[in-house]
Structure 1
């Protein structure tokens, strides 16, 4: 393709790229959402109306608008509507709870929050009412699925659509998204993704996968994650293709999407593929249109790779590696990689991306030597929102991003992840940083000390296992401790098991030696 897609979005904003698509292919489908189909012209019109509604509410360039909602066309309307006027979308996971909402909305300074009224049985209206005194920056909450003055319809009521790209003052280097990623200290950091970085990652991925307007990609990953926002919606936008969007992942919803559309690209994490392969209804699906299966989020096991290739009828299988800090994909399996290579490497850097392996002093190491993987390219984020020290530690002044992953690189550029420099583990495709969970556990009066590790799990890849030492003279109520975590953290961060121990192994310097921690039960 000679980087034609990359060139097409260079020096463009999200609003301009959407307006281009709406002008060139207005009737082409962009989003399939159950029985609903949203064309590019539809998305442009809806995003334009939201821009007008936000402007009428006093939201302008640089203001933060947060969203906590399941995948839906409205989610993307919020994304493009905010981008058109230069507002910054703060993406929250709908499963976040008290701790995450309070910190992220406060740290970002979000002025307006768009939120599901209900999700998975959880009622957000009373939750946010109780939380309001701790959210001083939030001036207005808009509920999806509601009626009345605080509804989505009320926000866009009376706003007339236009066909332009929005505020002409918005530039490609302006921030478009703040996406929070947990940190080793327990405080989440908001990766600041620009119009340029989001479009660069999306276009480079689309080039590597040869995406076209004929492709329909499965959108099962949440939009608050770059896997959904960039790898699915963004890459389809720049290629002019469509997304078969799911509100959440479930095998039955995937089966319905397969029956309604001719899915050509599947994209998910290993847990999703395992669940699909185990579903009886999926075994009867016609997958003849599938040309590509993309697996990201963690290492790809050879047995799973064989099963995927067999069940999907021999499509190309590719690994995808990316971070919040790279706005999406930055390393992908190239054309022609064998199954063995796909299961032992994460691929090669995308065209326009440079990668290197460095030591602790950030000196580049020779090929085949393990060190920290660093990435450089137009896809790299602008830093962490309002965190200059953390930004300086991760984003070097010369443009290199420290990924925190220990890797090796072959002479032909294939990269293999060896270990994580950070303590992060991945549960079902979601990154979990133990420090954040440990901070919640340690806040309980019954807990004197805590440590959380990731342990292998056949379904989720890894799950959390917590060790706690009781405070003097106090008995730990494990059930209450887990309930505390559920109240303050997203469900995927809650430890699957808590073990009370007399002591934790320590280093001479007083740090916990997690490498010596072993669960006493399966």
Structure 2
């Protein structure tokens, strides 16, 4: 795809990041240089290369460089702290990490060293045996296994362009292309393995629905480390010739300025972003004439909001959608759908994707009845990385992915997401998993037991509340636990409240009674009984 687009539209700008413009042909050249540098650093076909950096042009060329070298990209969230990131690097066996040093005043190297130990031999961290090199963007520093971005690119001279091209041409459509990390209800990080053929097809079709193409200017607000950011952002812009504008840190209150200054035509975000824009008193005086399409997925959308986005913000098309890392793009609303369909449903399944709603016995239910969403098609993940048992539990022998989401198909085939069979919740557009948050909080030595539930939040959509039992002889306070959590985990996982109890309530069979905890959280009180 990269070679075809570089030949067919070499001068089209596909990435605009401040003063840096990347054309299709320029990206092709830069990707080859990164690939040669990776090969010089020992990256072989199928090796995992992690990227732990905000949305920038360097992220874009690094990703395509990894793919040119035949490697597998492992995006890591900049919201992650040392504990989370080290665990993912270890589980995925990454040999190279490209990281930003100094982003938001934090040191990637120091955060990893705190939990993975000092250098050992030539390796940067003693307890990450597979990680051989860390390439640092931004502020640089000396150390074993550390190399600056400039030094890394200079190493490309040791590998010939013909050798790198042979490596790139050897990549097959079915080769693993990216591993997107998710935790799920087990609290254990999992890597979702996807290949290039399925992702290019899935998001080409996604781009067809919104008619993305040359002339569109699209700010990528969702992190490239997120499945939407890398696939429905970075990849589709290059494939379709649209101009992506990477946004490393998004300020919703500056959204109007971004639209006007960059003449944006596509805007993707949670419903709360558009509601916030519509509520601003300066809306009537802003020039939003460049806007063409809005994508609002992953949450319920009020019908009046859809109408206002058309009438007050001037969007020609508002799209709702449903997808998940393990299943790629599943369903989307279409251009001619009325506001009621866009607000109440995620639209109809994409071409080549089958959706089935089943009851607890696995039997398909009638239209209008709720049940678990199963899906099958080219977009279903190949596997969880090094986790055959988890893969078999998620994808049955007939190829159906059991999503754990509860939904309804109406008589017209529109899919509504009505509940979650799993406990995952969405905070600020990010999937958050109570089991993972619980496991992280239990690293705080003053806590003996923790149970996390989700609570509706006006700004974040949903947020975590933690109910905890203190360890013997410990006297933790809520502020101290939250302060620790802010330093140890991604901010969307940090609990809004920590409520201490003498013991956690249980059901008759001895399991923690999360229903009672949810009721208490919604009532803003401690549970009793």
Tell me, yes or no, whether TM beats 0.5.
Answer: yes
- Report what 2:485 is aligned to: 485
- Are 1:167 and 2:159 counterparts? no
Q: Deviations over 1:156-194 (max 9, x none)?
A: 116366895852221111111111111211111111111
Shift of 1:231: 1.2
Q: Using the alignment, how far apart are the partners of 1:69 and 1:283 within structure 2?
A: 36
Q: Using the alignment, how far apart are the partners of 1:427 and 1:506 within structure 2?
A: 26
- Are 1:141 and 2:134 counterparts? yes
Q: How does 1:223-234 map to 2 (within 5 A)?
A: 223-234=224-235
- Report what 1:200 is aligned to: 201
Shift of 1:280: 6.3
Shift of 1:34: 2.8
Q: Which stretch shows the higher mean deviation, 429-438 or 505-514?
A: 505-514
- Are 1:37 and 2:38 counterparts? no
- Report what 1:14 is aligned to: none
Q: How does 1:9-48 map to 2 (within 5 A)?
A: 17-48=1-32
Q: Which stretch shows the higher mean deviation, 38-47 or 396-405?
A: 396-405
- Report what 2:508 is aligned to: 508
Q: Using the alignment, how far apart are the partners of 1:282 and 1:123 within structure 2?
A: 39
- Report what 1:156 is aligned to: 153
Shift of 1:146: 3.5
Q: Which stretch shows the higher mean deviation, 121-130 or 202-211?
A: 121-130
* Residues 252 and 281 in structure 1, CA contact (< 8 A), matched pair in contact too: no
Specify the SS of the correspondent of 1:71.
coil
Q: Using the alignment, how far apart are the partners of 1:303 and 1:503 within structure 2?
A: 44
Q: Using the alignment, how far apart are the partners of 2:18 and 2:254 within structure 1?
A: 9
- Report what 1:11 is aligned to: none
Shift of 1:444: 3.2
- Report what 2:113 is aligned to: 129
Q: Using the alignment, how far apart are the partners of 1:198 and 1:124 within structure 2?
A: 29
- Report what 2:72 is aligned to: 88
- Report what 2:310 is aligned to: 309
Specify the SS of the correspondent of 1:214.
coil
- Are 1:219 and 2:220 counterparts? yes
- Report what 1:117 is aligned to: 101
* Residues 208 and 350 in structure 1, CA contact (< 8 A), matched pair in contact too: no
Q: How does 1:43-442 map to 2 (within 5 A)?
A: 43-130=27-114, 131=116, 132-147=125-140, 150-157=147-154, 159=156, 166-251=167-252, 254-278=255-279, 284-327=285-328, 329-442=329-442
Unaligned runs of at least 5 residues, structure 2: 117-124
* Residues 356 and 374 in structure 2, CA contact (< 8 A), matched pair in contact too: yes
* Residues 271 and 429 in structure 1, CA contact (< 8 A), matched pair in contact too: no
Shift of 1:311: 3.2
- Report what 1:521 is aligned to: 524
Specify the SS of the correspondent of 1:157.
helix
Specify the SS of the correspondent of 2:147.
coil
Shift of 1:281: 6.8
* Residues 198 and 379 in structure 1, CA contact (< 8 A), matched pair in contact too: yes
Normalised to the residue count of structure 2, the TM-score between the two structures is 0.90
Unaligned runs of at least 5 residues, structure 1: 1-16
Q: Which stretch shows the higher mean deviation, 480-489 or 40-49?
A: 480-489
CA shift in 2, pair 1:271/1:428, >3 Å: farther
Specify the SS of the correspondent of 1:237.
helix
Shift of 1:127: 2.4
Q: Which stretch shows the higher mean deviation, 67-76 or 317-326?
A: 317-326
CA shift in 2, pair 1:392/1:248, >3 Å: same
Q: Which has the higher contact order (CA 8 A, sep 6+)?
A: 1
Q: Using the alignment, how far apart are the partners of 1:282 and 1:67 within structure 2?
A: 37
Q: Using the alignment, how far apart are the partners of 1:176 and 1:281 within structure 2?
A: 44
**How many corresponding residue pairs?**
505
Q: Deviations over 1:252-283 (max 9, x none)?
A: 66445423433221111223334444556776
Q: Using the alignment, how far apart are the partners of 1:281 and 1:127 within structure 2?
A: 42
CA shift in 2, pair 1:111/1:283, >3 Å: farther
Q: Using the alignment, how far apart are the partners of 1:164 and 1:288 within structure 2?
A: 43
Q: Using the alignment, how far apart are the partners of 2:474 and 2:155 within structure 1?
A: 60
Q: Which stretch shows the higher mean deviation, 298-307 or 341-350?
A: 298-307
CA shift in 2, pair 1:285/1:171, >3 Å: farther
Shift of 1:340: 1.0
Q: Using the alignment, how far apart are the partners of 1:346 and 1:178 within structure 2?
A: 25
Q: Deviations over 1:316-362 (max 9, x none)?
A: 111021111123x2211022111111111111111121111122343
- Are 1:450 and 2:453 counterparts? no
Specify the SS of the correspondent of 2:287.
coil
CA shift in 2, pair 1:472/1:252, >3 Å: closer
Shift of 1:474: 3.2
Q: Deviations over 1:215-241 (max 9, x none)?
A: 222211100111111112222222222
Q: Which stretch shows the higher mean deviation, 21-30 or 387-396?
A: 387-396
Shift of 1:93: 0.3
Give the alignment's Cα RMSD to 1 decimal: 2.1
Specify the SS of the correspondent of 2:272.
helix
